[in-house]
Structures are given as C-alpha cells and as structure tokens.
Amino acid sequence: MTVKNICCIGAGYVGGPTMAMIAKKCPDIQVNVVDINEQRIDAWNDPNVDQIPIYEPGLAQLVADCRGINLHFSINVNEAIEKADMIFISVNTPTKTYGIGKGMAADLKYIELCARQIASVATTDKIIVEKSTLPVRTAEALKKILHNTSNGVHFEILSNPEFLAEGTAVQDLLNPDRVLIGGDETETGKLAQQELVDIYANWVPKERILTTNVWSSELSKLTANAFLAQRVSSINSLSELCEVTEADVSEVAKAIGADSRIGSKFLNASVGFGGSCFQKDILNLVYISKSYGLNEVADYWEQVIIMNDHQKRRFAKKIVEELFNTVAGKKIALLGWAFKKDTNDTRESAAIYVADYLLNEQANVVVYDPKVTAAQIYSDLDYLGTRSSDDNKKLLQVVSDPMEAISDAHAVAILTEWDEFITIDWDQVQERMLKPAFLFDGRRILDSESMRTKGFEFYQIGRG
Ligand code: UDX
Ligand code: ADP
C-alpha cells in the first residue's frame, strides 16, 4: 500500500494544523478531516480563511493553499473512514471528571467511540495512527476493539505523538526537532511504520524521524511534557524565593540556562503553566504510576502540579493583599485570557483560576483578550462550577478594547504575554486608572523600573 487517502478524526488544535501541513507537503494525498462538531467544520469551511476556528500564525494561509484541492473538512465521518488508507485519531482526551481515576486518568471514551466506529465501517485494510496524547498502553485498547471485528479487515496501529506547541504550530510542524513513530515490531507493523515515515520524509530530514515500539512512543510524549512542565514549576518555585531575597529570577534563569547541560528554554517564570497537555499528561503519569503501586514516582510528579496551583493562587492572593486586603466592588482589569500568546486556546489557562479567585473576593473583573471570545471566557468559568452561569455573567465583564478594561480600574493584571501588552501606551493606562494605580505583571513582560517611573505600584512574578 502507498497511502493515497488520509482521514483524520477530530478537527481540533492538533488535527487541523497537522493535516493542513500534510496536505501542503503531500499534494498526491487526499486529506479528509472529519469531526462530529458541525459548527467547527462549518468554521473550517468558512470562505473567509481568517474565520477558521483555530488561531495560529500562518495557519490560515496553509488552509487557503490546500482547501478544496487535497484538504477537505466534513462531518461525514463514515465516508471518510471507508475511503482512507490511513486514519489519524486526533480526538480530545480530557482528564476524567467522574468515576475511577476522576481528576487524573484520561477519559478515553472519545477514543473508544472512534475505534468502534472504524471497526464497524471499514471494509479495507487500514493503518490507524493515534495522534491524541494518550496514556501508555492505549494502543492496546484500540487493538482489542479493532481486532475483534469479524469482517476480515486488517488494522495496524501506530503511535505518532504530536509535539507541536500552540502559537507556533505551523513552524513546529514545518521544522520539527523530531517525529516519533511507534509501531509493532512485526513485519506488517514495520511496513505500516514505513508508510508513515514516507509521508513525513516529504519535508522532514530522515535522521529526525525516529521509529520505536508503540509503548516507548506513547510514554515519550507524556515524559516530554512532564519534563517541560517540571522546568516551569522549578523556575516558578524560585520566583517566590527571589521575591523574598535580593535575587533576580531572570538573572538566575540566564545563569543556569547558559549551562549547556541545562539549556535556556522553558525558564520563564510566570503566573503558572496552562494548556491542554501539561497538567493532563502529568496527571496521567501520576495515575499510571499509582496504578502500578509506584507511590514515590507518583508523588514526585504530582508535586509539579501542586507547585503550579500554588503559583496561580499566590498571584491572585498578591493582588488582594496589595489592594489593602479587599477587592470587593473594585474594578480589576485582566489583560489576556489565553494560556499563552498567539493562540485562542484557553484550556487550563492560569487566567481562569486567577479570575475565579478574584470573583470569590467579589471583585468587579473585566477581561480583555485579543483572540478569545466572550462566550469562551464565560464557558471556562461556568465549567469550573464555582458559581452559577448567571452570577459569572453578572460579576465578570468581557470587553473588546483594552482601554475600556483599564479605565477607572483599581488594578491591572497581565495574564497572557501578548505582544500588544508590551507596546500598549502605559502612560495613558496610568492616567486612566484610579490611584494608586496597581499593575501586576504575571508574565514578566514589562520593565519594572520604567513602570515605577510612570507612577505604577508595580508587582511582577519573581520580584517583590
Ligand atoms: C506543550 C508542548 O510544548 C508540546 O510539545 C506538546 O505537544 C503540547 O504541550 P503547549 O501546551 O502548546 O505545548 O504550550 P507550551 O509552549 O509548551 O507552554 C505551556 C505552558 O507553559 C504555557 O502556559 C506557557 O505560558 C507556560 N510556560 C512555558 C511558562 O510559563 N514558562 C516557560 O518558560 C515556558
Ligand atoms: P486537541 O487539542 O487534542 O486537538 P480538540 O478538543 O481541539 O483537541 O479537538 C478534538 C476534536 O475531536 C473536537 O473538535 C471534537 O469534536 C472531535 N471529536 C471527539 N470525538 C469525536 C468522534 N467520535 N468523531 C469525530 N470527532 C470527534
């Protein structure tokens, strides 16, 4: 088989950009991206490519280049499965919110549904590629479901974890550090692996395409995210120490980052990491470790999450403390809601937790984010379940102009490092705020000396 037709189930942050890149680099392959969410598919098909549901620099152009030629978005899942030689499963795997493993294990119901659907529809042999982040040994579950179909169809299962980071997805896909392809060590397993290697080899240098067994590939994905998150939690733990000593966390980060054994990336102290992967993957690692009775291993990784929760809470607490221990009825402007810049994704964003804390203190919270919709902001808060949806709407306001957010505010807090928050006219902001004008920089994007010169009461993570 040489792959001519690919189906991707799940048109989200992973499936959408990845398939757009494959379509662009493999003009001979037809790529069908399908999803049960009709609204999302309609948005992917919007004649105005700037309206596609996911904001990523460079993505709209990629979609414009291929859509309708060899890249198609549809809700017709069965038809796409039937036609495909290779099927990527790219559905969401959120942390379970119920039953055994609640709050920790990945909820595999969407994956299982996909597998059952593939099993019932397929009439020709297929290569199934697990693309979502999955706990180790998920492929085994997939295998069991798929191999128990009676129609004689042969499935090979590969694990091809995605390492793209949101905000830089197109660049990461174009020029990956490595592509990991896990497969069975059988003859047919190796052939399937080679089919996927050949696809990536259209633009990725061969030495960067690593083949492993399925389990190593699955575990590598969890581990990469756990290590990165651990670095952020490590530097965040030091940010608190810096605040009570004379040390400067940026200087510390620079000094240790210059050690080539450590390296300079992922050492920006912040209000806490967010995103769809870090917390979920670490919780998976914790859950798996516990289920094998490895309690010390579980506790070790769990501490990374505990530190992250502490960092978010401590930032919110700092705002209340500085504002004379009460924010009730005070207008507090939050700049940024996305979990980092250049994405409209808000999953696990620190902003959600900071806002929730301030709302509990009865603050009048006003949010501005350049790419996140008001509907998304309210849905994030409603999902937390701290208060009713009506109360969230009453207590928190979303605006589309940063100046509206800051006018007459007692305090401004930066929660996402959007470039426009660096270049905004801070003199004007200061003028329009109530005095004393409190500014809290949760992302370390502003220069503290110049902010103090402008007359702000300035606090920055890592700086007392
Ligand atoms: C991550 C992994 O990087 C990626 O390989 C994987 O496929 C998915 O998970 P992503 O969640 O998109 O990607 O974002 P990432 O850039 O890793 O940042 C995660 C969080 O950590 C963000 O909230 C970011 O603001 C925060 N962060 C990152 C810091 O606070 N400091 C840093 O130095 C780096
Ligand atoms: P990720 O960041 O992993 O890409 P997203 O939540 O952005 O996660 O995307 C996952 C997509 O998968 C969602 O759009 C969801 O509607 C879709 N999905 C989930 N289950 C199925 C299914 N059984 N068939 C088709 N699409 C599905």
pLDDT in tens, 295-306: 999 999 999 999
Q: Residue 163 Cα, ligand 1 centroid: separation in angstroms?
A: 10
Mean pLDDT over the full length of the chain: 95
Helix segments in 245-373, DSSP class H = 249-257, 278-291, 295-322, 350-360
CA triplet 414, 415, 417: central angle to 5 degrees? 80
Is the CB of residue 18 below 6 angstroms from any atom belonging to ligand 2? Answer: no
Regarding pTM above 0.95, the answer is no
Is the CB of residue 87 below 6 angstroms from any atom belonging to ligand 2? Answer: no
* Gap between the Cα atoms of 237 and 366, Å rounded: 29
* Gap between the Cα atoms of 310 and 272, Å rounded: 9
The alpha carbon of 82 is separated from its chain's Cα centroid by a whole number of angstroms, namely 31
Residue 108 reports pLDDT greater than 90 = no
Which listed ligand is nearest to 351 at the C-alpha? 1
Instruction: Tell me the per-residue pLDDT of 319-367, one tens digit each, with 9 for 90 and over.
Output: 999 999 999 999 999 999 999 999 999 999 999 999 999 999 999 999 9
Instruction: Tell me the per-residue pLDDT of 48-77, one tens digit each, with 9 for 90 and over.
Output: 999 999 999 999 999 999 999 999 999 999
pLDDT of residue 135: 67
Q: pLDDT confidence of 218, banded at 50, 70, 90?
A: confident
Atom of ligand 1 nearest to the CA of 163: 7
- Taken as a whole, the chain contains a residue count of 464
Percent of the chain surpassing pLDDT 90: 88
pLDDT of residue 148: 79
- Tell me the three-class secondary structure of 208-268, residue by residue: HEEEEEHHHHHHHHHHHHHHHHHHHHHHHHHHHHHHHCCCCHHHHHHHHHCCCCCCCCCCC
Could you tell me if 14 and 22 are in contact, meaning their C-beta atoms sit under 8 angstroms apart? no
* Gap between the Cα atoms of 92 and 110, Å rounded: 7
* Gap between the Cα atoms of 202 and 200, Å rounded: 5
pLDDT of residue 388: 97
Q: pLDDT confidence of 136, banded at 50, 70, 90?
A: low
Nearest to 8, CA basis, from 52, 65, 72, 95: 72
Bridge partners of residue 71, in order along the sequence = 31, 67
Other C-beta atoms closer than 10 Å to the C-beta of 95 total 18
Could you tell me if 436 and 457 are in contact, meaning their C-beta atoms sit under 8 angstroms apart? yes
Atom of ligand 1 nearest to the CA of 345: 12
Average pLDDT (180-189) is 95
Which listed ligand is nearest to 93 at the C-alpha? 2
Residue 200 reports pLDDT greater than 90 = yes
Q: Which residues contact 14 (CB under 8 A, 6 or more apart)?
A: 90, 131, 132, 162, 164
Nearest to 351, CA basis, from 434, 267, 270: 270
Helix segments in 92-158, DSSP class H = 109-121, 138-147
User: What residues are annotated to the active site?
Assistant: 162, 221, 277
5 token code pair: 């037709």
Q: Residue 278 Cα, ligand 1 centroid: separation in angstroms?
A: 7
Q: Residue 35 Cα, ligand 2 centroid: separation in angstroms?
A: 6
Q: For a ligand 1 pocket test, name from 93, 267, 273, 312 the mutation site with the most ligand atoms within 8 angstroms of its C-beta.
A: 273
